[in-house]
Amino acid sequence: MMMSFIKSFHFIIKLMFDITIIGAGITGSLIAHRLSKLDLKVLVLEKENDVAEGATGANSAMVHSGHDPKPGTLKCRYNLLGNRMYPELCKELQVSYVPIGAYVAAGGEEEEEKLDQLIAQCEERNVPYEVMDGDTARKTEPNLADRITKVLSLPTTGIVTPWEVVFAAMEEAMLNGVEVKLNYEVSSIEKKEDHFVINDEICTKVLINCAGAHCDDITNMLRESPYKVFARKGEYFVLDHLNGTFVNHVIYPTPSAKGKGVLAIPTVHGNVLLGPNSDDCEDVEDDSTGSGLDYIRSEISKTMKNIPYHKMIHTFAGLRPHIDLKDFYIQEDDLIENFIHVAGIESPGLSAAPAIAKDVVENIVLPKFEGYKVKETYNHRKPFINMDKMSDEEKSALIEKDPDFGRIICRCEKISMGQIKDVINRNCGARSIKGVKMRCRPGMGRCQGGFCEPEVLKILAKELHEEKTEVCLDRPGSNVLVAEAKEEL
């Protein structure tokens, strides 16, 4: 009986935490990364099969300058701060950040008046800018539509790959003691005198709600939520590698009541995104594409010409967690002590995330932990192996050390077996075909995995010590193979 009690006691201790974060998107991950530098016990809970799912995995992948959000809002404040933090953050995490710049394009008197309002906001916010006429802008953007008469240039606009930021932040957090539970859906939360109990098994002093489209569901487990989350869908076209042959800056239209409009967006890896639309939908899990793509075709033609639709290789949709308060909701709950809301993180949420994380940690969480200490030693991650950026000599040395780096699995993106094995066998490593794709890009090219996906499946099965029928495309239950029909030759 005593042995049974000891086992039970150890089980309880194992599941006690100082801070628990629900949701492993960009904001939750950056909060976890900041907390990993301190001597605190931190847990991250994520209902999906991987981090960086939801809005983080399907958005415009850009760091806005801060010229657009409504004055006096949290969106405005955090966007301006986050934009300035991104270069150093990406340097620390060893992920790509490109200060590509943006043009806001106006055609005609009405749009030029809206552009003048943005120029005034740039002045007020100390956002660097330049104004040029349409003909001058077309010298650097020859595919700018002929109707464009005036352009606002925003040089501090940047591009990142959002999920790469999350993978790096969470990997480094885990290297420094943060625990992560994937495929963990929160079904109950109970508030005790000095802690919360989650699913009758996890105890935590502080609870941070970063659950994206499900923030109100989490809050409703403790009290009636002061906000309601709605899904706002944005669809996109993905064009093949164009590397500046079509567009060199992010191209915005003048904004409307629905948001920043349909954009042309170069990506870190040389593709181009066209989108998004902005349609409200009832189902916060409905990421299907549809009629929104027709809207994108219509709207993008107002700012761009010679659009190479024959280079289109993929379409996708993302769901932005819009709340009825029309701003971010970031604060400690006014009724429940130690329950922290980080809700409504829609655009410019990616841009704002580093500043949100800093503010939440420094000004809301840490005052609750008197005498906390900064860790004396901190472990930095090694970046994913990118053979594209290596010299021939470096590639040869790597292949000589491990021949798997000489075996190309994805011919579109030139990704080797060694790279795929590397992203699987890490903290916060890939556990699905999509997880591998998002980390090192097999399946991102023009064939969209038509040739490499079966090979990725085999590598996952071997490295994870699973049967091939157990390997998932993405979420649990999305098994690619149902059964083996015959023995492999």
Catalytic machinery residues:
64
- Residue 32, phi then psi, degrees to nearest 5: -60, -40
What sign does the dihedral 14-17-23-29 (CA atoms) show? negative
The amino acid occupying position 243 is: N
Among 235, 232, 215, which residue's Cα sits nearest to residue 60?
235
The span from the CA of 470 to the CA of 21, in Å, is 29
Return the DSSP state at 138. H
The span from the CA of 391 to the CA of 393, in Å, is 5
Among 352, 349, 350, 425, which residue's Cα sits nearest to residue 384?
425
In order, the DSSP letters of 219-236 are HHTTS--SS-EEEEEEEE
Among 62, 95, 93, 65, which residue's Cα sits nearest to residue 80?
65
Among 143, 47, 41, 152, which residue's Cα sits nearest to residue 102?
152
Give residue 334's Cα distance to chain centre.
29
Token pair 């099965």 in the structure block, residue: 461
Beta carbons of 86 and 63 less than 8 angstroms apart: yes
The span from the CA of 326 to the CA of 247, in Å, is 32
The span from the CA of 313 to the CA of 311, in Å, is 6
Give residue 406's Cα distance to chain centre.
30
Beta carbons of 22 and 213 less than 8 angstroms apart: no
The span from the CA of 107 to the CA of 134, in Å, is 9
150 burial (CB, 10 Å; 0-12 / 13-18 / 19+) is: buried
The amino acid occupying position 295 is: Y
Close Cβ partners of 400 (under 8 Å, ≥ 6 residues apart): none
Task: Please give the biggest Cα pair distance in the chain.
Answer: 84
Return the DSSP state at 38. B
Omega of the bond leading into 308 within 30 degrees of 0 (cis): no
Token pair 């410019």 in the structure block, residue: 348
SS3 56: helix
